[in-house]
Structure 1
């Protein structure tokens, strides 16, 4: 299974923010759309990711307040990414190793989407459920063995 399979199921909605947007406004957007990340875009290029992890670190550092900073001041400016042709067997260890919950999907310099660890886990579970269903159907339709002829 490839990342493109997840993007196809997930749909084309993509939430982005400018690096110069206020962090307060970005958090409001994340809350409004119930999303855990925003792709940070500048002049058509992906320049970072803002996730709830960066927001929480900022709140902790500011004594419970988001503060007056911009997205640029807290974003991950070197997010790990993959392509739509990357196999999920490669994505899972990458996300686990770096504790990455959200990964941009790039086609050269074009942002194609963002996949979450949830998206990857769901795709794996759905694939396993389908495989289990096919195996059960195969076993149910298993041809009966012919009885062996009596020995003389």
Structure 2
């Protein structure tokens, strides 16, 4: 399974923010939309990722206050990315290695979407459920050896 399979099911809604936006505004938007990440775009290109992890780290660093912090101050400016052709097993390994919950999907310099660890886990479980159904159907249709016709000898 490829990342493109997840994006096809998930749809193409993207939530982005500019680096100079106040962090408080970005936090409010994330809460309003019930999302855990925003893609940070500058001049039409990926500039970083803002997730609740970065938000919390920045608030702690600021002594519990958001203050005048901008998205640029809090964002991960070097997010791990993948392409729509990346295999799902590779994405899962990458996300586990870096403890990443969100990953921008890039085709060249074009942002195609964002996948979450939830999206990856759901795709794996759905794939396993489908495989289980197919195996059960195969076993159910297995010929009964007692009633099987004898092999014809030539």
Q: CA deviation at 1:64?
A: 2.2
Q: CA deviation at 1:65?
A: 1.9
Q: CA deviation at 1:9?
A: 0.6
* Structure 2 length-normalised TM: 0.93
* Structure 1 length-normalised TM: 0.94
1:45 aligns to 2:45 (yes or no) = yes
Residues 67-146 of structure 1: matches in 2 within 5 Å?
67-145=67-145, 146=148
SS at match of 1:135: helix
Cα deviation code 1:24-77 (max 9, x no counterpart): 000011001000000000110001000000001112222322221100011000
Q: CA RMSD in A?
A: 1.3
Give the distance between the partners of 2:136 and 2:66, measured in 1 at CA.
52
Give unpaired runs (5+ residues) of structure 2.
Answer: none
SS at match of 2:5: helix
SS at match of 1:63: coil
Residue-pair matches, total: 149
Which residue of structure 2 lines up, in the alignment, with residue 17 of structure 1?
A: 17
Cα deviation code 1:83-114 (max 9, x no counterpart): 00000011111000011110000010000000
Give the distance between the partners of 1:128 and 1:32, measured in 2 at CA.
34
Q: CA deviation at 1:147?
A: 7.3
